[in-house]
Amino acid sequence: MACSDSDYAYLRELVLEQSSNQIDPSRNALFDTRLTPIARISGASNLESFVGMLKAGRPAHLHRAVAEAMTINETSFFRDVKPYDMLRAVILPRLIEQRMKERRLRIWSAASSTGQEAYSIAMLIVEHFPDIAHWDVKIIGTDISRQVLEYAQRGRYRRLEVNRGLPARMLLKYFVRDGEEWEVSDKVRSMCEFQYANLCAPLPRLAVFDLVMLRNVLLYFSQNDRTHLFGDVHRKMSPSGYLVLGNAEQAEDSTDLFEVEFAANCYFYRPVNGS
């Protein structure tokens, strides 16, 4: 299934409008592979007639489905290792000391994809900070794709997924095997919640976060959208909170609301004029 250059341009524009994701023209083939199943389900005989349906605006929910289908959901448990070492050695001990009185922590896995990031943080806390077992700790995962959110909520992973980044000891301790799948334990699951949020649209009321993980999603957004997003993230954070980006991402070129710090071989950000 392929379509004309102007149809691809229309699809790129539609995705940009719905999710702010920029898709380079060199990746047109991705539209073919990702949209063919939706086109078939919608009764279109090929991508061209599917684009015709989209242009005619019927049904409206298809526009959202196209944007969701084009998201890149690559993720893994304890992705990149270093940020998690830094959480364990630096950020969580500091936050725990700061929040000793409230006994409450709110963590945001923004762009959580299928949930591995949120569950990794939950496991890290249970494993290394048993003293806060009775605190009110919540990790809120959000994403624009309803499909990945459902997957995250199920908390069931295939062998290939648990084999990526999850130490065998943690797998045995925090998952229960059920046939071909591994299910997150109740303890870890009860710390995580998942909900829809488009990072480039007005954000829902979530919480005031002590820690925000905004990893491996900024690269899909324009400079302007990143600047707006940093402003929104800043407003949703405690002044004494922490922001962690992806290894290849930085805030400095989009905002002056955060200042960078380096510890445990990794960078993190603090709100400027925070406490």
Ligand X SMILES: C[S@@+](CC[C@H](N)C(=O)[O-])C[C@H]1O[C@@H](n2cnc3c(N)ncnc32)[C@H](O)[C@@H]1O
Which residues here bind ligand X, judged by CB under 6 A? 19-21, 71-75, 79, 111, 113, 117, 143-145, 148, 197-200, 215-217, 220, 246
Instruction: Please identify, using beta-carbon distances, which residue of 39 and 212 lies nearer to ligand X.
Output: 212
Residue 90 amino acid letter = V
Within 10 angstroms of residue 11's Cβ, the number of other Cβ atoms is 24
DSSP string, 140-209: EEEES-HHHHHHHHHTEEEHHHHTTT--HHHHHHHEEEETTEEEE-HHHHTTEEEEE--TTSPPPP---E
Q: Which is nearer to ligand X, 11 or 132 (CB)?
A: 11
- CB of 60 vs ligand X, minimal distance in Å: 18
Question: Closest CB to ligand X among 50 and 108?
Answer: 108
Locate 212 and state its tokens. 């925000």
Distance CA 19, CA 64 (A): 8
Nearer of residues 217 and 251 to ligand X, judged by Cβ: 217
User: Which is closer to ligand X, CB of 246 or CB of 274?
Assistant: 246
Give the CA dihedral 92, 94, 100, 101, nearest 10 degrees: -120
Q: How far is the CB of 72 from ligand X (least distance, A)?
A: 5
Tokens found for residue 51: 């684009």
Closer by beta carbon to ligand X, 7 or else 117: 117
DSSP string for residues in 38-91: HHHHTT-SSHHHHHHHHHTT-STHHHHHHHHHT------TTTTSHHHHHIIIII
Find the helix or strand (DSSP H, E) in which 245 lies.
strand 237-245
14 vs 111 by CB, closer to ligand X? 111
Taking the complex as a whole, the smallest distance from the CB of residue 152 to ligand X amounts, in Å, to 9
Q: How far apart are CA 89 and CA 264, in angstroms?
A: 7
Residue recorded with tokens 């969701």: 68
Kindly state the smallest distance separating residue 214's Cβ from ligand X, in Å.
8
Minimum CB–partner distance for residue 21 and ligand X (Å):
5
Closest distance to ligand X from the beta carbon of 29 (Å): 19
> Whole-number minimum distance, CB 153 to ligand X, in Å?
14
Q: Which amino acid is at 257?
A: L
